[in-house]
Amino acid sequence: MYLLQAVKGRTTKESTMSSVSAYYNGKTVLITGATGFMGKVLVEKLLRSSPEVKAVYILVRPKAGQSMQERVANMLKCKVFDRVREDCPNFHEKIKPINAELTQPKLAISAEDEEELLTRVNIVFHCAATVRFDEPLKHALQLNAMGTQRLLELARQMQKLEAFIHISTAYANCVRKCIDEIIYPPPAEPKKLFDLVEWLDESIIQDITPKLLGDWPNTYTYTKALSEYLIQQEKGNLNIAIIRPSIVGASWHEPFPGWIDSFNGTSGIFVAAGKGILRTVIANNEAVADMIPVDVVINLTLAAGWYTAVHRPKNMLVYNCTTGGINPFFWGEMEQYVMSTFKRNPLEQAFRTPNAHLTSNYLINQYWITVSHKAPAILYDLYMRLTGRKPRMMKIINRLHKSMMLLQYFSTQSWDWSSDNMNMLMGQLNTEDRKTEEYPIRIQHHPPCDHLAHFHCKVTDGSKHLVLCGEPLLQVPFLLQGIQHPQALKPSISNQQRGTSR
């Protein structure tokens, strides 16, 4: 989709600024959300580009029956770390897990661990958040807003802290059509809202959530807007920067093209279209599909950390990490490219030939949902029952429809984001930085969706697969849940017939 103008560099006597990579060498870094999509890429990039980084502390909580140690072990097995594993086999020794819970007072960190963080950490990257659009308001507030408040409280006590970088979202202020790189008034007074959800019953909170959200489409964007305001109000003397990425997608180049770790959001919808399950989507062909590769976001994040620590700007800087204002790419173009990509490189064991279309007409969309989604799913499930197997297609269709409803707000309209601070940051990087390809943060024109081609169908050794933590598509759960193996979707036709139908 885009050609990324790369920047890196080495420190020279003539230069008045350090290179990004050199800055992190010898530093101690704290990262929240390290086991998430963006967090993994951040940890990998930091360890690979700054091999002399002193230590990387990561806050991790037990989850889904896994201990902190088990979660970290599973994270480090991920294919995203293959490059750094090859360059530095002992890279894991730099990673220091800390048992913590952002929703608990004082982050539930032990006194010993807290003392270690307070006396050693030089820079904080706050990536942790619940990104579910339909997250109950109370939990979204506890993690996205109150968790940020607690982390700020810890950061203000850190003796050697040089910068605090917060990952927000470009849609935090989506109620506005033109979004500048500033902090806007919050949708509500955060502290009053915190008090409200603390004593109200969960069911009552659910009932009043629509009223509280107002024009905000979901609890994710709402709580991110609150978090930005909280940071501005409670930052004290900290050097802070806020990164606002738009829709974060598969990697363009690093750690390798097309890496992604889940089928959430647009990823799942693209794959469902490639499998022939998804046939109709509500979207405006002329609306901008503002997607940004994850490695571009991480490179901007690290560069912003360097600039914030070294230059100590007087005011807190916000970086809109978006593409629409520089090289707009529209949903109509996205449809054409996605479909042509899957037709050239069909996924294995597709349900049908890919043939998805966009429409902004609600009635037309409902018609095609009935005809092309529900009717085939009912027939397929009937066939599964008759052959003694468990019907699952309607369950997948319903989950898919829910995802599309949540994304509809973002696929039917466009926003204008200013990018003055990103351009300024590009200008601050020295001449040597501009000559190499280590820190791509600026986006220029390129034939559309090039990085998506890698995401959709990366061809390796002649076998088609989607990269998901390094496993071929046939070995991972389809859409994460529902069908445990794509074989369950195999139509009762021969391989030869299937190939002909494509």
DSSP assignment of 289-332:
--EEEHHHHHHHHHHHHHHHHHH--SS-EEEEE-STTTS--BHH
What is the reported pLDDT for 482? Answer: 35
CATH number of 2-256+290-328+415-445: 3.40.50.720
Distance CA 439, CA 39 (A): 17
Read off the pTM.
0.85
What is the reported pLDDT for 107? Answer: 95
DSSP β-ladder status, 291-293 and 247-249: parallel
3-state class (DSSP) for residue 28: strand
283 close to 405: Cβ distance less than 8 angstroms: no
Distance CA 400, CA 407 (A): 11
Backbone phi and psi for residue 40, each to the nearest 5 degrees, phi listed first: -60, -45
Q: Which amino acid is at 118?
A: L
What is the reported pLDDT for 251? Answer: 85
Distance CA 34, CA 78 (A): 12
Distance CA 175, CA 221 (A): 10
Per-10-residue mean pLDDT for the chain, 502 residues long?
A: 34 48 95 95 94 96 86 90 89 94 94 97 96 92 96 97 98 96 95 90 93 95 97 95 94 83 77 90 93 90 95 95 84 87 82 90 94 95 94 92 90 94 84 54 47 41 37 33 36 35 33
259 close to 200: Cβ distance less than 8 angstroms: no
In the numeric block, which tokens belong to residue 93?
């020794």
Other CB atoms within 10 Å distance of the CB of residue 403: 21
Distance CA 132, CA 155 (A): 26
Q: What is the DSSP letter of 77?
A: T
> CA separation (Å) from 295 to 3, 4, 48, 129?
13, 10, 13, 18
What is the reported pLDDT for 161? Answer: 98
Domain regions of the chain by residue span: 2-256+290-328+415-445, 331-412+450-501
3-state class (DSSP) for residue 444: strand
Distance CA 240, CA 232 (A): 9
